[in-house]
Structure 1
């Protein structure tokens, strides 16, 4: 067994801390020993399915302890995990199923209803017993009690996670077992996580930031306290009742937490258990910082910057938060960061260039995406004007992030923009083309449309849809149709009608989004 796989963490935790509570959800809890037993039962059953080696298994369910068991069970086999956020609509799930040829789906009673509208011929496993012909975790726990052993290498592919990219369709990034272990190791190091920590499991498990909370818990033998964020009051009750000490969130969550009247917020004393707060997936505003400082008086706040192609690039030390709140910080351990111009030269302070990530935590590439992989995963030769590449090194891979940044005189980095027109909202990356394609396909009375973003301090970017048609449509009607096909975070907050849309002078087939954006901002 490799030491660089999640399976080794489960086995070690079972030996060293069998009676320690591993995962909780409200009043439910499971120890490391019980977790290990149930993971083995599900992994044994998955093995008996005799799917082709490296088959993809999707997990499409609401958050819960069984979801954690499912994730760890898949990672205890030769199969590859494909986490599917519950926010995705059936047609988006169907696209991912076909894109990576998912052979088996693990789901719950609620999401099982979605499969009535999804074309899927593979195997389905439910957490709960729902039908005599459908296998369930409940039945597997009753009948599968044989010893389970596996031998997984750290270099094996562990998961494919999907986000929305330039093509307007979800694109999968391939992550190895070693990647997951390295990310848990480095975060545990720079956050100084401890065995007696209780880590909040509010983040969804479809991307690496959420999965990292689970793996850090395993790595440190800590407790992961799951929570399904619905209302701010529920979230604060979770922090207080579960005695949370480490609170990973997205910026939009911070905004939602404090979007209440002050007399409805808990006192700082009730939140004094929290010693670490982390944020990734968007910009942190001064209001967020002030609210955190006021109510979480014992907490250190870490603002972080991650990539699609690598786990993480930077974090801002809590001591710098008030001094340079707009900075994304400096490189995390084992990473070197460079800001280069178009000629491959290092940019001096205050000059904007592309951020290049060198060192650890680089993922394997895009699933069935050679063009996307080639665009971001580059030879270290692109740094030849800056560093000494001994022996004319050509095999080392670095990430050309597509993020445009600058550094100050002390080496702190500041994000400026993306190379492409991706929209980043509520911690998610959204492709305008994805939304435009849905409009074109499903709202036939719209002639043309353009999707872009405008700045919004609370959610980073606000999605705007401008369209032309023979007559104006009800915005509610458009929103209603979009909600059938798109995740909630992809729904435009502004919908604007124009009789005609301006075109780019040099390309009459392309809508001039910059003109539309400027027109909106100058009103």
Structure 2
């Protein structure tokens, strides 16, 4: 690996300055933007944005597939002095309405079909809504282009909404510095090059999904975004574009290993990166067999600090279950239950310190105080740290190993699902008096969503109607795989529903 990367952050919109003018930067379905064209499009889009939403710090949301607009908005909004709020295109109007209202979005840009699903009251009263075609028509007729900004790297640049273990999604506030240094860090330890081609399959509303764009552009590489319907679409895109870098979550990797990969799709791959859950030893072996020439990078992170650790590819075969060590610009401490740095093989909480730590949760001081706290005395960085809630151990050789989580978060197909959000949705139908959402280990999904419910006393045909109502109100990835109906819920000694007993029962 080359010398340590430059730790000095810059305004986020400077990221696309490293690519050669005529080198490919963004490979879309119908055309390819060179770096010269990318910079020009960002300048024009940002100028139009600043005229449409002139107040600095205003929130601008996007709700669309991986289109040119979705890809350019992280840089264009930052250059215009606005705060970008990317919305997961899989979400439905109830979740989107919460994000728009909570963030105070003043301009929503998106796919016409998605925007038409919104109802009165879903967005703030002062929020303007525009389809993508209308946006580009306005940009084409708008006169002006903004040069690169001189924004303070500590300024707020984006709000990414992520599910918590309780309640509705919360907005993680990311600064220019957070996103700039995240891009520099990942580009460095992956060894990204200007001749790389990145296939962006992860949602751009996810932290690592956006980072696929940003670390590639920092390195002067090309990105081709893909909204795939079937795993075979990924292999086809790899062959078509000569993809060298592919990121996925474990459930997708499982599906990809079941394909018959042609050589023109598999041989160009230089690196495979994994996030959103741990790889099993069998899956590691399958990936090694199909892509013997590619370096495999298992990674661990959380939206509140972007990325925390990675496992060097040279160590994967010997330590396939390890989380690895801290990425550049991250300091990872293991703190035991008495607040001290844990010794070798002693279990403790993973605490992330350093400049990748986010600014907190948007307009939520209570939950910010629970997760963002002063760094432990042993920290070299000091300042605020993220207390992850994840239990880990550090071995004698310095490698970290995941033990478990303190909260009840469900991770299914790479998505973080709030049990309470699903339970609230079930109860809001009026068909259910009590509900408990659980994640059950599943080889393909990581966790399969199970919902245990007790019907309301006045419910009619609840078993028939509940799945239909949940399908209407919740995105596909939150739909229960199984709904278990109970006449009564087990209670613990405190009179509360015994979730542990239910989890044991459902898992058997």
Secondary structure, in 3 states, of the residue corresponding to 1:115? coil
Does structure 2 retain, via aligned residues, the 8 Å contact 1:232–1:258? Answer: no
Aligned residues: 496
Query: Which residue number in structure 1 is paired with residue 216 of structure 2?
Result: 217
- The answer as to 2:296 corresponding to 1:301 is yes
Shift of 1:172: 0.4
Query: Which residue number in structure 2 is paired with residue 445 of structure 1?
Result: 431
Match of 1:397 among 378, 384, 392: 384
Shift of 1:457: 2.9
Shift of 1:435: 0.6
Does structure 1 retain, via aligned residues, the 8 Å contact 2:351–2:387? Answer: yes
> In structure 1, how many angstroms separate the alpha carbons of the residues matched to 2:9 and 2:281?
42
CA spacing shift, 1:46–1:513, aligned 2, 3 Å:
same
Query: Which residue number in structure 1 is paired with residue 369 of structure 2?
Result: 374
Secondary structure, in 3 states, of the residue corresponding to 2:484? strand
> In structure 2, how many angstroms separate the alpha carbons of the residues matched to 1:306 and 1:231?
26
> What are the residue-to-residue correspondences of 1:306-325 with 2, within 5 Å?
306-325=301-320
Shift of 1:234: 1.2
Query: Which residue number in structure 1 is paired with residue 65 of structure 2?
Result: 62
Does structure 2 retain, via aligned residues, the 8 Å contact 1:203–1:249? Answer: yes
> In structure 2, how many angstroms separate the alpha carbons of the residues matched to 1:210 and 1:368?
24
CA spacing shift, 1:29–1:345, aligned 2, 3 Å:
same
> What are the residue-to-residue correspondences of 1:152-191 with 2, within 5 Å?
152-191=151-190
CA spacing shift, 1:287–1:60, aligned 2, 3 Å:
same
- The C-alpha deviation readout for 1:465-488, integer Å capped at 9, x for no partner, is 111225895756422211211121
> In structure 2, how many angstroms separate the alpha carbons of the residues matched to 1:308 and 1:270?
31
Query: Which residue number in structure 2 is paired with residue 487 of structure 1?
Result: 475
Query: Which residue number in structure 2 is paired with residue 132 of structure 1?
Result: none
Farther-moved stretch of structure 1 (23-32 vs 472-481): 472-481
Secondary structure, in 3 states, of the residue corresponding to 1:345? coil
Q: Which runs of 4+ in 1 moved over 6 A?
A: none
Secondary structure, in 3 states, of the residue corresponding to 1:356? strand
> What are the residue-to-residue correspondences of 1:30-41 with 2, within 5 Å?
30-41=33-44
Does structure 2 retain, via aligned residues, the 8 Å contact 1:183–1:361? Answer: yes
Query: Which residue number in structure 2 is paired with residue 195 of structure 1?
Result: 194
Does structure 1 retain, via aligned residues, the 8 Å contact 2:187–2:216? Answer: no
- The C-alpha deviation readout for 1:287-339, integer Å capped at 9, x for no partner, is 32122112112100000000121011111111222222111111112322222
TM-score, L = length of structure 1: 0.90
> In structure 2, how many angstroms separate the alpha carbons of the residues matched to 1:78 and 1:481?
40
- The C-alpha deviation readout for 1:112-139, integer Å capped at 9, x for no partner, is 322346633311222214xxxxxx3134
Structure 2 alignment gaps of length 5 or more: 1-7
> In structure 2, how many angstroms separate the alpha carbons of the residues matched to 1:270 and 1:197?
14
- The answer as to 2:485 corresponding to 1:461 is no
> In structure 1, how many angstroms separate the alpha carbons of the residues matched to 2:53 and 2:311?
47
Secondary structure, in 3 states, of the residue corresponding to 1:503? coil
Does structure 2 retain, via aligned residues, the 8 Å contact 1:274–1:298? Answer: yes
> In structure 1, how many angstroms separate the alpha carbons of the residues matched to 2:333 and 2:118?
46
Query: Which residue number in structure 1 is paired with residue 144 of structure 2?
Result: 146
Across the aligned residues of Structure 1 and Structure 2, the Cα RMSD in angstroms comes to 2.1
Structure 1 alignment gaps of length 5 or more: 130-135
CA spacing shift, 1:117–1:175, aligned 2, 3 Å:
same
CA spacing shift, 1:212–1:449, aligned 2, 3 Å:
same
Shift of 1:268: 4.4
